[in-house]
Structure 1
């Protein structure tokens, strides 16, 4: 089916603070473990350049870990600290900017091995400082902004979730008190980069160990959760859901990005199986492919202003030209996400 009439909604410019995008398509962060000993090489730079030169409006890099002993348990996940790794990221930025693209790093800490209750307050301060240092480096390297990974049961999200945060000090307690660590990280990053450098914050209700989990069970609770993050300095929310078309709460068709924009007034990024049919896990565990889904619903929501940007993950992972093909109406040329296609990771 040709979508060249209405699909133009995805190709309107977007501007916020110093971030000027040619279109609304965002490459979602996807861990690949292609950075030996934490150092991104030219393969990584070329990987991102291919998506930029094929029309992606904004690239969010794979998760890059901060300078803390617990930040990663995977040797080939890229670092965002140390001269060699940072030089690698400088080359990534140069390659993407060289073809007119925009790129921000996702700053990450994979989380506590047990629960966040094990961390002393002095250790928490060290982690906050490490996040801020990474933010400073992102600006120094010429990135177009930064994203904090506060989703999917990683460190920041572990502080959010009552099941992984048993603390009784100022970092624990009710839902608002459990935002304290994130607030301190955001505030420290904002101080490090200044007021105009775009700060994106990714969060999710679902957890890796519980897809049905909800930090906020009602719009009112979601507002209580979001307000401290807004006050701390978040510019854009990246609202991670497994399926973008599913409503977040009963009695409203709005998804998580829609509710977040309504409650905060901040721009939002929607994400969740964009460009895919079927379950991601089934494509890997059962050998089933995930074909390219219709985008009518996505475009309608975007045109209504439910959210501002659309993050595409697995579809862009296997098809660097996905955005250009969508723009040109060449949907019959899209490469479906399958286990075989995943092996190429080109």
Structure 2
């Protein structure tokens, strides 16, 4: 397949772009406490710019402190922000890429912990998601005078953006933030000139556009991001958005960036789609907008494969495609596509690792790309002298360590005791909707081959093998072992482990009780239920799937419900027998019937080899679940780090 349309020149207003690939705004939470640009932020944008993208929309940057939505969000609320933004603009421009800042105000979608005061909104209607985070939270309605002053803040932010040397500015009018709140009948209950009817709800954004134009001039490109639909009863739908677009087109907007949803509809999985959401869930909204404007339209949301991007453009469903998380996973995605190196792309697997961290107010990282935000820390430098490196374990941590060390010039041999590479990732990919995990495993295997790693499967590393091979370095990535709880009956013939169930080495008889309602337990329960088994999940905590992100969790619970999976929470298993389990809740015991009990109650590190080979080599590294069972993101990072340190 050729990708001619993707690399065709494009225009937004007076701005010429080298191709149709857009890096959309993605909050990374890497700014300083004051919202100032950091070196870490610059380094990541430089990597993306160098990778061949046509345009970068710098992440949502708050225009006023009360509109701050994340603890380390980038700011553009004061002239002191300009110096850092100027350095960012220069760094991006050094690679010939156009860039502009997205100016943002969270409105009701923040809490005092983040914004330092009582959140403001067009109406005092709280956001359900924020209420869940802070039960005391309640937004304050802006006065009529304050609304006008807030429009001035947007204009001043646009002026700072231009003063910093950026090529355009984007207004954030999507995802349920302040502008969306004014536009939507779901959140705007005002009776003054900024509410009441369509014209009143449009007034705020039209004033913002007018005031921005007065600051930046008639020829400076101004784009806006909109939610094509909020997917909320009583909220904005695509018909309403088309009316909004027509008014903004007349007001001088140069391009429309069409996304979807607000925080309260985010669990539906379209704004930032998880694995369970089909590809390109919002393209039809962009296409509908194109029907009512001649201005360029940008589409976004899980358009993560080159063929899909090209198809959208060829069919004229949009003029530009934003690929977002794909650029966190592999900043060189555009360059590799252009050069025909599709097999070298480290594709985003939509695992939600990045966004789950953001919404828990942590630094954004990427599961499959440990260099994201660590461009300086994990620099791959050639070694002056090659060492003989033995890697024990062919899971994600071991494979990452092996190819990185080999790329640096070491002689690397990877051993895997099973006949298949991938470790726990192979099992993690087996439950329904999780197949994209295999995409990364295949990428790692290609990296091993590309970098000349010798791979030996079906052979376990032992102290005897170490003594025989005499490596200079050993990297141990042997993973974890299932935890066996201290429960009477746990050794019964009807008790099996979740990993063995997924491997197909044990048989289960219905009804099946899954002991443990975390990601693993819920995953194996869904897998079994899809095969027609009757499944019950027993969890001692208040809710199941608490180690999953919000939209992943909500979509999973919906699928489990449709499959008829019974869920028992706040129940501690005290006994297992051939008839099922005995559970206890608040001192009361009850029986839950079942033929097979599947254990999904955690794991412990496999440190047997680490203890056995201590003293046999001068350099010994232990990475991933061998240190402590955590997420694959941690394992892959530790593997890359070991590969860089050897």
Q: Distance in 2 between matches of 1:28 and 1:328?
A: 23
1:76-113 deviation line (CA, Å, top 9, x unaligned): 10111334421110000010111211111000001133
Choose which of 369, 372, 377 in structure 2 pairs with 1:345: 372
Distance 1:114 1:93, change over 3 A: closer
Distance 1:81 1:336, change over 3 A: same
| CA RMSD of superposed structures (Å) | 2.1
**Offset at residue 35 of structure 1 (A):** 0.4
**Offset at residue 175 of structure 1 (A):** 3.3
**Counterpart of 2:489?**
none
What is the aligned residue count?
A: 313
**Counterpart of 1:185?**
208
1:26-63 deviation line (CA, Å, top 9, x unaligned): 00110111001111122211211111111000000110
**Counterpart of 2:443?**
none
**Offset at residue 301 of structure 1 (A):** 2.9
**Counterpart of 1:280?**
none
Question: Larger % of strand: which?
Answer: 2
Q: Distance in 2 between matches of 1:308 and 1:76?
A: 33
Residue 56, structure 1, aligned to residue 53, structure 2? yes
**Counterpart of 2:612?**
none
Question: Larger % of helix: which?
Answer: 1
**Counterpart of 1:160?**
183
Q: Distance in 1 between matches of 2:11 and 2:65?
A: 37
**Pairs within 5 Å for 1:46-125:** 46-66=43-63, 68-112=64-108, 113=119, 115-117=121-123, 118-125=141-148
Choose which of 13, 17, 24 in structure 2 pairs with 1:21: 17
Q: Distance in 2 between matches of 1:77 and 1:233?
A: 29
Contact 1:132 1:185 in 2 (8 A): yes
Secondary structure of 1:10's partner?
A: coil
Contact 2:186 2:235 in 1 (8 A): no
Q: Distance in 1 between matches of 2:22 and 2:73?
A: 21
Greater C-alpha Rg? 2
Q: Distance in 1 between matches of 2:84 and 2:160?
A: 12
**Counterpart of 2:153?**
130
Any gaps of 5 or more consecutive residues in structure 1? 249-253, 276-292
**Counterpart of 2:250?**
231
Contact 1:245 1:298 in 2 (8 A): no
Choose which of 146, 155, 169 in structure 2 pairs with 1:146: 169
TM-score (norm 1): 0.84
Secondary structure of 1:162's partner?
A: coil
Distance 1:101 1:214, change over 3 A: same
User: Looking at both structures, which has the greater relative contact order when contacts are Cα pairs under 8 Å and sequence separation is at least 6?
Assistant: 1
**Offset at residue 214 of structure 1 (A):** 5.4
Distance 1:10 1:73, change over 3 A: closer
Secondary structure of 2:152's partner?
A: helix
Any gaps of 5 or more consecutive residues in structure 2? 109-118, 124-140, 261-269, 271-277, 354-366, 374-646
Contact 2:238 2:288 in 1 (8 A): no
Choose which of 268, 277, 298 in structure 1 pairs with 2:297: 268
